[in-house]
Structure 1
Amino acid sequence: MSVKHPIVAVTGSSGAGTTSVMRTFQQIFRREGVNAAYVEGDSFHRYDRAEMKVAMAEALERGDHTMSHFGTEANLFEELEELFRSYGEDGTGRVRKYLHDDVEAEPFGQPPGTFTPWEDLVGDTDLLFYEGLHGGVVTGEVDVARHADLLVGVVPVMNLEWIQKLHRDKATRGYSTEAVTETILRRMHDYIHYITPQFSRTHVNFQRVPMVDTSNPFVARTIPTADESMLVIRFANPKGIDFPYLLSMLHDSFMSRPNTIVCPGGKMDLAMQLIFTPMIERILERRRRAVAAHWEGVRLGAGGEAAATVVAH
């Protein structure tokens, strides 16, 4: 964690909705005049699209049916932690971009499914914003979670997450139901060991719970809408959270536990705006004070050196 160079991380599994959450934070940053450095979690995969197919085929030949984008073998966890550490110390770091489709790839003159070259972060940013699979990952070798000043989890209930993935992969990638099901099964080991533990480390969790029957996600014809869902918002530390204000603004909401609010799913963007705007303001105010104290120390140090030089002569 860092006062002068704070890090905000949104973590969740594929199709959980982290991209939508990123757009909400972008709105907050624009309104508050925040100059953020954006980092996508996909850019820290170890393999590009073609390489991943080869690596998975080799894993299957070895009898490994669990290799996935969720686990250590397919990710650069050490490099991700190094980025967080470096940024927290002095606002620097090395990043690249994963080009998902033709639209993203065209400006770089590269095929989709590849990475851009590693490069230095643009300097003089107010904070680092990460969105992806592993913003709170911890293994025996790395601890990414400890560097985040604000760690947010986005967690649909399991059946809803599967429905969203099935519909997305079939509609946008042309996969069959059988192929998507195989992917879900292959990822389960890493999902249990690397994805779900992160949500015990988050500062705030947002979990969407459908209010319609999702008992068999593999035959669901439609994705439950936000208005057909409730949103469970859990605060790891409820101290300082103005629950009466949130309840008054989020109509039809209630508290199910001393640290948990439940509200209609359609109010997710509003809930995030209400919750995270003051949190970001506090993070930035601490940063402003720390930066001001730093430069005041530099000024006084320079003045002391000048005075010592005069006395010496």
Structure 2
Amino acid sequence: MSMKHPIIAVTGSSGAGTTTVKHTFEAIFHRENVNAAIVEGDSFHRYTRDEMKRQIEEAEARGERGASHFGPEANLFEDLEHLFRAYGESATGRRRWYIHNEEQSMRRNLPMGTFTEWEDLPVGTDCLFYEGLHGAVQTDTVDVARHVDLLIGVVPTINLEWIQKIHRDTRVRGYSKEAVQDTILRRMHDYVHYIVPQFSRTHINFQRVPVVDTSNPFIARDVPTLEESMVVIRFKDPRGVDFPYLLTMIDGAFMSRANTIVIPGGRLDLAMQLILTPLIWKLMEHRRQAV
């Protein structure tokens, strides 16, 4: 962790909704005039899309489980920790971008599923902001979480997470439903060992819980909306959290535990603004004092 060069990380699995939280942070950064160096977690995958496909096919031909984007075999965990350490020490480091879709492909003039070249982070940033799968990952040799000053977990219930992934990957990325189901099954071991443990290290978790039937995520026609959900917000350390203020400002909110507030899903953006803005103020104030 660093007073001069703070790091903020939003972590959650594929289809969890981390991009939505990223947009909220970007709005706060813009409003509060915070210059953040943005890092996308997918850029620390080890393989291009075609290389990953070949790795999986070769493993399955040998009767083995193929690598998944949740685990260490398919990711550059050491490089990610090195970036966090370098930024915390001197606001330096290198990043690249993963080409997800056709628009990015045309803008960068690169095929989808590939990476840009590595580049130096911009000079003079106020903080580093990471959004991806592994903002709090730990292994026997890597501890990314220890470098992060503010860790946010985005954790929908598992069936909702699968519904969101199925709909995104079939409708936006063009995969078949069967291919997405195979991916979910192949990732399960790494999900349990590398994704789930992160949420015991986060400072705040936002967990969306649908209040409609999601018992069979593989036949769901639509993704439950925020208005069809409640959001459970858990604070690792509730000291200093003004729960009476939040309960007053967020209509329909209630406390379920001493460190947990539950809100209607439609109030999620408001809740994130109310909760996260003071935390960013605090990080920036500490940075000004240290500099």
- Partners of 1:210 and 1:230 within 8 A in 2: yes
TM-score (norm 1): 0.91
Residue aligned with 2:128, SS? strand
AA paired with 1:138?
Q
Matching residue of 1:172: 172
TM-superposed CA distance for 1:113, in Å, is 1.1
Q: How many Å separate the matches in 2 of 1:84 and 1:5?
A: 10
- Partners of 2:94 and 2:120 within 8 A in 1: yes
- Partners of 1:233 and 1:262 within 8 A in 2: yes
* Segment drifting more, 46-55 vs 107-116: 107-116
Matching residue of 1:281: 281
Q: How many Å separate the matches in 1 of 2:98 and 2:176?
A: 25
Residue aligned with 2:73, SS? coil
Q: How many Å separate the matches in 2 of 1:213 and 1:101?
A: 31
Matching residue of 2:186: 186
Matching residue of 1:35: 35
Residue aligned with 2:23, SS? helix
Q: How do 1:259-274 residues align onto structure 2 when only pairs under 5 Å count?
A: 259-274=259-274
Matched, 1:163 2:163: yes
1:260-295 Cα distance to aligned partner (Å, 9 max, x none): 00000111111100000000000000000000xxxx
Q: How many Å separate the matches in 1 of 2:77 and 2:182?
A: 25
* Segment drifting more, 130-139 vs 171-180: 171-180
TM-superposed CA distance for 1:105, in Å, is 2.1
Matching residue of 1:101: 101
Q: How many Å separate the matches in 1 of 2:202 and 2:191?
A: 16
1:24-51 Cα distance to aligned partner (Å, 9 max, x none): 0001001100000000000000001111
Matching residue of 1:9: 9
Q: How do 1:74-113 residues align onto structure 2 when only pairs under 5 Å count?
A: 74-113=74-113
- Partners of 2:55 and 2:66 within 8 A in 1: no
Q: How many Å separate the matches in 1 of 2:174 and 2:286?
A: 48
Matching residue of 1:254: 254
Matching residue of 2:63: 63
- Partners of 2:56 and 2:66 within 8 A in 1: no
Q: How do 1:188-227 residues align onto structure 2 when only pairs under 5 Å count?
A: 188-227=188-227
Q: How many Å separate the matches in 1 of 2:103 and 2:219?
A: 32
Identity between Structure 1 and Structure 2 (%): 68
Structure number with larger C-alpha Rg: 1
Q: How do 1:119-138 residues align onto structure 2 when only pairs under 5 Å count?
A: 119-138=119-138
* Segment drifting more, 2-11 vs 46-55: 46-55
TM-superposed CA distance for 1:66, in Å, is 4.6
AA paired with 1:252?
G
TM-superposed CA distance for 1:84, in Å, is 0.1
Which ranges of structure 2 fall in alignment gaps of 5 or more residues?
none
Matched, 1:24 2:58: no
TM-score (norm 2): 0.98
- Partners of 1:16 and 1:156 within 8 A in 2: yes
AA paired with 1:122?
P
TM-superposed CA distance for 1:107, in Å, is 2.8
Q: How many Å separate the matches in 2 of 1:127 and 1:64?
A: 41
Which has more helix, going by share of residues? 1
Residue aligned with 2:72, SS? coil
